Amino acid sequence: MKAIRLAHKILRTLVRDRMYYPGRLLIDTFSIVARCGVLLVLYWYVFRLNNGIINNTTFIVAAWSMFFYFAFSVFRLRDISRAIMQDVQSGNIEVLFSKPISYLSYRMWWQVGEGLYPFLVISFFGAIILASIVGIPATMSTYVFIPTLVLVFLFGAILSLALYATVGLLAFWIEDVSPLFWIVDKAVMILGGSYLPVALFPNFMYKIALYSPFGASQFITHTVYGAWAIEWPVKIGIQIFWTFVFVIVVSILFAKARKKVSVNGG
């Protein structure tokens, strides 16, 4: 119950804060328009030069796949790495460890609360605008789409938090995790289908995206493809596997970090 009350209080406080100060929402919106919008125009031209189909994929499907990636990125779950690193570097971690709450739960719910409002707003209006401009692919009309979209989003969010929390916790040993964060973040960006839709990947690259935790965290981009109706149990199973692995890794690192703080901090 304490964890639920903590999560509710954090989410309510941060969502209200973002609603009262919409400046960051405008920045996030401009970022999505600048990156995703330019890419969609570019791919529209490329698909047009290829008679509307590339690798058995239409522009509508590719557009929605990229939109899902950028909409999910607005959640900014990856920022948990920097938040943990800053806590360690500033010494604030010792204060937070002494509080009667779980530090990791606090950090994860805080990160969700930070990005929840812009994610909901941008996803809702972005989807309406994209649907009115390019249309909706037939794959989004199947009966499995909405339930599996929700599942793959939830597991993707948990996996992303666990993956980036792993990077952040390494700050207890290497202090500045920025280089490692950059490597992980670029791997997620490339294998998640940000600038090149997953359906256009070469076969070897697609397999890496399919079986690695970096690609698995972004399986939401796979939901619009025709094969999703058949492949979704396998892909969600891969997400669950990697989520389980990284939750264990985070738990081990966190336990060792607490001991390190206890020894060095007295």
Q: pLDDT tens across 88-117, in order?
A: 888 888 887 777 778 888 899 889 988 888
Rounded Cα gap, residues 227 and 137, in angstroms: 13
> How many residues are recorded in the chain?
266
Q: Which residues contact residue 89 at a Cβ distance below 8 angstroms, ignoring those fewer than 6 apart?
A: 171, 175, 176
Confidence of residue 266 (pLDDT cuts 50, 70, 90): very low
Ordered by start, the domain boundaries in the chain are: 2-260
Tokens of 43: 């791919």
Confidence of residue 15 (pLDDT cuts 50, 70, 90): confident
Flag whether pLDDT at 265 surpasses 70.
no
Flag whether pLDDT at 263 surpasses 50.
no
- Looking at residues 111-128, what average pLDDT do you find? 88
Rounded Cα gap, residues 232 and 219, in angstroms: 9
Rounded Cα gap, residues 69 and 135, in angstroms: 18
Flag whether pLDDT at 36 surpasses 70.
yes
pLDDT digits (tens, 9 = 90+) for 133-155: 999 998 898 889 999 999 999 99
Rounded Cα gap, residues 58 and 61, in angstroms: 6
CB 150 within 8 A of CB 224: no
Across the chain, what does the average pLDDT equal? Answer: 87
Flag whether pLDDT at 125 surpasses 70.
yes
End-to-end Cα spacing for the chain = 31
Q: Is 58 helix (H, G, I), strand (E, B) or coil?
A: strand
**Of 15-24, 110-119, 144-153, 167-176, which one has max mean pLDDT?**
144-153
Rounded Cα gap, residues 237 and 122, in angstroms: 29
Confidence of residue 188 (pLDDT cuts 50, 70, 90): very high
Tell me what pLDDT residue 2 has.
Answer: 64
